[in-house]
């Protein structure tokens, strides 16, 4: 590779340095690395430094910011739908507003900024900095006018801001995003070192789960059965298998082995921003769950109900259709987000105001089972790395 020459020109009271990088192989445009200096001597020194970096194969991105890096990284990173949606949320809510305009080369020598950011988030998730803010009511909270004010009329529900710490698990997610993006910056030679490797992340200690008692779980099951037999089957499977909602929404009749009395969990249904996909499980591993005779009989009754519905609608139930289907023929899977609204009314009657928490906590009900409540035991065939 021929050593680049570069040039220095005076612009007002400063000097601009430009060193050629060659043509971009994708766009075909000629690229330059730019720098600025306050004197001619400083400009010559910086030009020599740029030339040395380019000659060594390190591409200087002297003006690249954290926002530039995040945009480029998101364009090439292989992320699943749910993961990408979660990462983009953290980037837009926290990372970009705070670090977006910061140059990467500045962050290389100011690694303390990440420690300060994590510490402030651990103190206040809104990063209020001691300012007097308002915690606006949920409706319209995300919409803003051109002047930055909330797009709604405040009432008694909009109250003076009270600091609430961001959960350590969320701070760890933000740190993971920055670490992964900076790894790409190092690989692309935009930075020499990854500053996130030196940052201190708050300790993430898992809280003790508080699952419902077997009696409470049975009350939820009875309320679901009184509302809808399909919802009752869904809740029962959550209880006896511990499967996630998305996994059960993607369960097909061919995944049920009646002879061996087990279920195969190998896929999940996800919805993000209107995009609906069938994807691999959260752990990216299949697992086969052995269930009791009563659960197999419950599924057989559910299958017979589905077949009768299909016949009444003038069709035939698909042999490999979805176990929980919204079209009656097993061709369209049940939408995961509709499971929670469907559970709201019966679960409220059973004493639970949050159906999503109730469904999630039912996954842990087996660990709380006792001899006086008939909750069957599930054997996991293979491994479930959760």
Q: Can you tell me the mean pLDDT for 206-233?
A: 78
> What is the spatial distance between Cα 264 and Cα 152, in angstroms, rounded to a whole number?
48
Same domain? For 332 and 374 the reply is yes
Residue 229 lies in a domain: yes
| CB distance 180 to 90 below 8 Å | no
Same domain? For 368 and 248 the reply is yes
The total number of structural domains in the chain stands at 3
Same domain? For 13 and 72 the reply is no
| CATH number of the domain that residue 309 is part of | 1.10.443.10
Residue 149 lies in a domain: no
Same domain? For 227 and 324 the reply is yes
Same domain? For 257 and 296 the reply is yes
Same domain? For 13 and 89 the reply is no
Residue 238 lies in a domain: yes
Is the pLDDT higher at 277 or at 115? 115
| CATH number of the domain that residue 70 is part of | 1.10.150
Q: Can you tell me the mean pLDDT for 324-353?
A: 56
Residue 151 lies in a domain: no
Is the pLDDT higher at 143 or at 338? 143
Same domain? For 170 and 304 the reply is no
Helices (H), the chain: 40-55, 66-76, 81-90, 96-99, 104-108, 112-123, 168-187, 214-227, 229-241, 245-249, 293-312, 336-349, 355-362
357: confidence class by pLDDT, cuts 50, 70, 90:
low
Same domain? For 37 and 96 the reply is no
Residue 34 lies in a domain: yes
Same domain? For 111 and 258 the reply is no
Residue 42 pLDDT greater than 70, yes or no: yes
Residue 386 lies in a domain: no
pLDDT score at 22: 72
pLDDT score at 139: 52
For residue 45, give both structure tokens: 């020194």
Residue 95 pLDDT greater than 90, yes or no: yes
pLDDT score at 44: 87
- 256-271: per-residue pLDDT in tens? 999 999 999 999 988 7
pLDDT score at 235: 87
Range of the domain at 192: 66-128+163-198
Same domain? For 355 and 312 the reply is yes
Residue 30 lies in a domain: yes
pLDDT score at 179: 95
Mean pLDDT value across the chain: 78
287: confidence class by pLDDT, cuts 50, 70, 90:
very high
How would DSSP label each residue in 274-332? TEEEEE--TTS--EEEE--HHHHHHHHHHHHHHHHHHHHTTS---TT-BSSBSSSSSSS
Same domain? For 257 and 376 the reply is yes
Residue 362 pLDDT greater than 90, yes or no: no
pLDDT score at 217: 78
**Stretch among 76-80, 214-218, 341-345 having the lowest mean pLDDT:** 341-345
Q: What pTM was computed for the model?
A: 0.63
- 154-190: per-residue pLDDT in tens? 777 788 888 889 999 999 999 999 999 999 999 988 8
374: confidence class by pLDDT, cuts 50, 70, 90:
very low
Residue 146 lies in a domain: no
Same domain? For 42 and 70 the reply is no
Residue 47 pLDDT greater than 70, yes or no: yes
């Amino acid at each position: 590779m021929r050593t680049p020459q570069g040039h220095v020109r005076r612009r007002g009271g400063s000097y601009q340095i430009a060193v050629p990088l060659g043509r971009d192989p994708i766009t075909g445009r000629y690229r330059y690395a730019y720098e600025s200096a306050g004197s001619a001597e400083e400009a010559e020194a910086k030009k020599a430094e740029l030339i040395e970096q380019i000659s060594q194969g390190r591409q200087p991105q002297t003006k690249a910011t954290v926002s530039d890096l995040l945009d480029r990284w998101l364009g090439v990173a292989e992320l699943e739908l749910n993961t990408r949606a979660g990462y983009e949320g953290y980037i837009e809510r926290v990372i970009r507003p705070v670090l977006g305009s910061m140059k990467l080369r500045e962050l290389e020598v100011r690694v303390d900024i990440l420690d300060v950011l994590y510490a402030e988030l651990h103190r206040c998730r809104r990063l209020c900095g001691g300012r007097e803010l308002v915690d606006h009511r949920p409706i319209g909270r995300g919409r803003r006018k051109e002047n930055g004010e909330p797009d709604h009329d405040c009432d008694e529900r909009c109250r003076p801001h009270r600091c609430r710490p961001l959960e350590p698990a969320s701070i760890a997610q933000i740190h993971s995003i920055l670490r992964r993006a900076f790894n790409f910056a190092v690989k692309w030679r935009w930075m020499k070192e990854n500053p996130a490797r030196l940052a201190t992340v708050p300790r993430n200690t898992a809280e003790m789960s508080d699952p419902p008692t077997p009696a409470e779980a049975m009350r939820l099951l009875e309320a679901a059965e009184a509302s809808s037999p399909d919802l009752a089957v869904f809740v029962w499977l959550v209880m006896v298998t511990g499967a996630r909602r998305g996994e059960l929404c993607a369960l097909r009749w061919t995944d049920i082995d009646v002879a061996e009395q087990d279920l195969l969990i190998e896929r999940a249904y996800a919805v993000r921003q209107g995009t609906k996909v069938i994807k691999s499980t959260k752990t990216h591993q299949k697992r086969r769950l052995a269930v009791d005779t009563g659960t197999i009989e419950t599924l057989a009754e559910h299958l017979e109900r589905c077949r009768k519905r299909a016949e009444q609608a003038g069709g035939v139930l698909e042999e490999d259709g979805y176990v929980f289907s919204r079209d009656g023929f097993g061709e369209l899977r049940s939408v995961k987000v509709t499971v929670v609204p469907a559970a709201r009314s019966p679960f409220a009657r059973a004493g639970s105001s949050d159906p999503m928490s109730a469904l999630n906590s039912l996954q842990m009900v087996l660990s709380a089972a006792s001899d006086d409540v008939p909750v069957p035991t599930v054997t996991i065939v293979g491994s479930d790395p959760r």
